[in-house]
Chains A and B, each alone.
Chain A
């Protein structure tokens, strides 16, 4: 590849790469300096090779098939998706993973205390960041947000903000001084790969909503001498608070094809490349239209838009129930986790002190290890520490074990109790091997 031809091809390169002007500049520079580095060409060719390519055949086929109401993935034009296709999972507070067809999106919500905007002194803020990783699709580039990623963020942002779906005033801590800033990160994990690729906007919107619904911010109160000091409570001390979400604005995307505006819902990646226009309607279950984004040059009849909106609100109800179900199942799971934790810790706090003294005395008497009182105290400390550790272990093993220990305690059998956690003392010489074994066995269950 000669230098001259590259310099001559400047315009075409600029046209092909559609706005990647920086690279063209690099080329021009190289041409001026009269040096040629094959690395640059490779770099550009790489990018060139990574873009989505469609054949003439596909484009034509998608359009002709749509004329007879057929879609390439076997759906009918108004088929949103088969039931199995949408999977929402929440694993942690404020995070969600959505799988729509083969598109895989992760939503993550975090919060931070910041100074509010001047014009809104008593409202928190909400911001959306999108992350398109090259792992998801080779056409994405690192550190260069494309047009689609900006649009994606804007659509979701508008849906949430304009409809006031999240209560912002409840995020205020001190008016004009401190408010919670909510940040939603949307990571595209897989843009579908080779087939059955669903539109990202809908998937990302669902991910954002699911993450927001599971998010909890730490509770904070005002304290200190002047009542202006903010105390942020750890989640262990005070239960974190969920956001107040009034409704879920669901984005539903439509594609318009051909001369007579054939409408399809939820276009695939390939259909997106062929269609002339796109409209994303953000609606909620109560029938409100929160936002509409219309892209592409094609004009659409008013009646058609109304038809789309009606369809969208039906689909929104389906999707809302899906999101609510997954959030509910996450909440119950979370509540269960909490119950487990609490059931073991009061046992430690309440029953321990008296029992410990008793057993310590007993075990000391039994074994006849009468040492200095200092050693006695040290042992006491050790035992209490060890018992704490054991209790945590037992709560992990399951509640069965802790129950067993508790019943043993009620019987007042010294031996079985020695087998229990409180006599597990690696520093004492007098523990007999039987008791040790018993204690090990009880841990093993």
Chain B
């Protein structure tokens, strides 16, 4: 860290693996600039240091954050996630989101939600939801509507199969352009998929064998490169057909 040259840091650290303690940016050299910090970064006077291991990401014009793969999910506002209904209270549903605490889903946070038409969910219902509040020291808050109050695709997911993955794998599945596993699978099979950034993936198809094949292909692709993913999926498909 000591011999790190701050002058040429921004370019060299972006998209590179970083570990806690790395100083990735020197603010003294960039006056009059506003930058936005995401998760995993901390400002120490003029230095931006890393707080968790992962890859440093940069989005133009000024956003920096550290991306890592975890088993647990740290809630952040705007994420689309898959939650499991745990309990229902008078005002809130309690939802498990793989986070440090259970999240609250207000009973009115549905399209056209009023006191009269509170939805009923069985314990264990899988919900596709959006995080609207994620403050420290508070339970995160969820919503089943988009920002304009429409139901969009949010709500309970029926049938299908849900499995858990790391947050990194979930992010890979959501990347655009579409990741090779989904692309290769999608050419041969028809299935529905919902990916939650909290590391939960739901797959549905008419035939259970398709669901099993797709979910296993996705689980296997965690540590594979794009080409390897394609080969793996092709092999799987050959074995089945």
Residues of A within 8 A of B (CB): 45-46, 48-49, 53-62, 64-65, 68, 70-74, 193-196
Q: What separation, in Å, do the CA atoms of A26 and B60 have in the docked complex?
A: 53
> Looking at the complex, which of B33-41, B145-153, B213-221, B224-232 is the stretch in contact with chain A?
B213-221
Give every chain A residue within 8 A of B158 (Cβ-Cβ). Answer: 57
Annotate B54-75 by CB proximity to A: 1 below 8 A, 0 otherwise: 0000000000000000010000
A74 cross-chain contacts in B, Cβ below 8 A:
212-213, 216
Hey, which bits of chain B sit against chain A, CB under 8 A? 71, 84, 86, 96, 99-102, 122, 124-126, 157-166, 199, 202, 208-209, 211-213, 215-216, 219
The answer to whether B71 and A194 have CB atoms under 8 Å apart is: yes
A-B contact sample (10 more), CB < 8 A, given A53-B96, A74-B212, A194-B71: A55-B84, A55-B124, A55-B125, A55-B126, A61-B161, A62-B161, A72-B161, A72-B212, A74-B213, A194-B166
Q: Tell me whether A59 and B71 are in contact in the complex, defined as CB-CB below 8 angstroms, given that A49-B102, A53-B96, A195-B164 are known contacts.
A: no
Cross-chain contact A61 with B101 (CB below 8 angstroms): no
**Hey, which chain A residues are within 8 Å of B84, CB to CB?**
53-55
Partner of B159, one of A60, A62, A194: A60
Interchain CB contact under 8 A, B157 and A49: no
With both chains docked as a complex, state the minimum distance between the C-beta of A440 and any C-beta of chain B, in angstroms.
31
* B208/A57 in contact, CB under 8 A: no
Cβ of B124 and Cβ of A61 under 8 Å apart? Answer: no
Q: Which listed residue, A49, A58, A68, A193, touches B161 by the CB 8 Å rule?
A: A58
B27 to chain A, nearest CB (A): 37
> Considering residues B124, B165, B199, which has the most beta carbons from chain A within 10 angstroms of its beta carbon?
B124
Q: Which residues of A contact B202 (CB under 8 A)?
A: 57
Write the chain A residue with the least CB distance to B203.
A61
- Known pairs A55-B84, A57-B158, A194-B199; A65 contacts B126 (CB<8 A): no
Q: A45-B102, A57-B159 are in contact. Are A195 and B165 (CB under 8 A)?
A: yes
Question: 16 interchain pairs (CB within 8 A)?
Answer: A48-B86, A48-B102, A49-B96, A53-B86, A53-B124, A55-B124, A55-B125, A56-B122, A56-B126, A61-B159, A61-B160, A61-B208, A62-B161, A72-B163, A194-B199, A196-B219
Please state if A72 and B124 are interface contacts (CB–CB under 8 Å): no
Bound CA–CA A370/B162 (angstroms): 86
Point out the residues of chain A lying under 8 angstroms from B161, CB to CB.
57-58, 61-62, 72
Q: Taking the nearest CB of chain A, how far is it from the CB of B33, in angstroms?
A: 40
| Minimum CB–CB distance for B172 against chain A, Å | 15
Partner of B124, one of A46, A56, A195: A56
Chain B residues whose C-beta falls within 8 Å of the C-beta of A65 in the assembled complex: 208-209, 211-212
* Least CB distance, B99 to chain A, in whole angstroms: 8
Total A-B contacts with CB atoms under 8 angstroms apart: 76
**Cα of A55 to Cα of B164 in the assembled complex, Å:** 11
Q: How far is the CB of A55 from chain B (nearest CB, A)?
A: 4
State whether A70 and B212 are in contact (beta carbons under 8 Å apart), knowing that A55-B125, A194-B165, A195-B219 are contacts in the complex: yes
Q: How far does the alpha carbon of A195 sit from the alpha carbon of B86 in the complex, in Å?
A: 21
B71 CB, nearest partner CB in chain A, Å: 6
What residues on A are CB-neighbors of B101 within 8 Å? 45-46, 49
Cβ–Cβ < 8 Å partners of A46 in chain B: 101
Determine the distance from Cα of A48 to Cα of B86 in the docked complex, in whole angstroms.
Answer: 9
Q: In the complex, A314→B124 CA distance in Å?
A: 38
Kindly provide the distance from the CB of B193 to the nearest chain A CB, expressed in whole angstroms.
13
Distance A49 CA – B122 CA, assembled complex (angstroms): 18
Give Cα A375–Cα B99 distance, bound, in whole angstroms.
Answer: 73
Residue of A nearest to B124 (CB): A56
Say whether, besides A64-B208, A65-B208, A57 and B71 are in contact (CB < 8 Å): no
Measured between alpha carbons, how far is A236 from B53 in the docked complex, in Å? 45
B166 and chain A: residue at smallest CB distance: A194
Q: Which residues of A contact B216 (CB under 8 A)?
A: 73-74
Give the CA-CA distance A74 to B220 in the complex, in Å.
Answer: 12
How far is it, in angstroms, between the C-alpha of A230 and the C-alpha of B212 when the chains are bound? 62
* A54 nearest CB neighbor, chain B only: B124
Measured between C-beta atoms, what is the minimum distance from A386 to chain B in Å? 39
A49, closest chain B residue (CB): B102
Q: What residues of chain B lie closer than 8 Å to A45, measured between beta carbons?
A: 101-102
CB pair B166–A57 under 8 Å, yes or no, is: no
Chain B hits for A193, CB < 8 A:
71
User: Complex formed: what's the CA distance from A62 to B162 in Å?
Assistant: 10
Distance from A101 Cβ to chain B, minimum over Cβ atoms (Å): 12
Give B214 Cβ to nearest chain A Cβ, in Å.
11
Which B residues are CB-close (under 8 A) to A72?
161, 163, 212, 215
Kindly list chain B residues whose C-beta atoms are within 8 Å of the C-beta of A70: 208-209, 212
Complex: A60 Cα to B126 Cα, angstroms: 12
Q: Which residue of B lies closest to A270 (CB)?
A: B163
Question: B124 CB to closest chain A CB, in angstroms?
Answer: 4
Considering the complex, give the chain B residue whose CB is closest to the CB of A71. B212
The answer for the CA separation of A61 and B122 in the assembled complex, in Å, is 16
Given the contacts A45-B102, A49-B102, A195-B219, A57 and B164 also touching, CB distance less than 8 Å: no
- Chain B residues with Cβ below 8 Å from A55 are 84, 124-126, 162
Q: Is the CB of B212 within 8 A of A58?
A: no
Residue of B nearest to A55 (CB): B126
How close is B199's CB to chain A, nearest CB, in angstroms? 7
Determine which residue in B71, B86, B166, B212 has the highest number of CB atoms from chain A within 10 A of its CB, and name it: B212
Bound CA span A413–B100, Å: 73
In the complex, the answer to whether B164 meets A194 with C-beta atoms within 8 Å is yes
- What 4 pairs between A and B have smallest CB-CB spacing? A194-B164, A65-B208, A61-B161, A55-B126
Contact, CB under 8 Å: B211 / A61: yes
**Chain B's nearest CB lies how many Å from the CB of A219?**
46
User: Of B96, B125, B158, B208, which is in contact with the most chain A CB atoms at under 10 Å from its CB?
Assistant: B208
The answer for the CA separation of A71 and B216 in the assembled complex, in Å, is: 11
| Nearest chain A CB to B151 CB, angstrom units | 19
Q: Which residues of A contact B166 (CB under 8 A)?
A: 194
Q: Give chain A nearest CB distance to B170 CB in angstroms.
A: 11
**Least Cβ–Cβ distance between B120 and chain A, in angstroms:** 13
C-alpha gap A58/B163 in the complex (Å)? 8
CA distance A290 to B38 in the complex (A): 58
Contacts of A61 in B (CB 8 A): 159-161, 208, 211
Question: How far in angstroms is the closest Cβ of chain B from A162?
Answer: 38
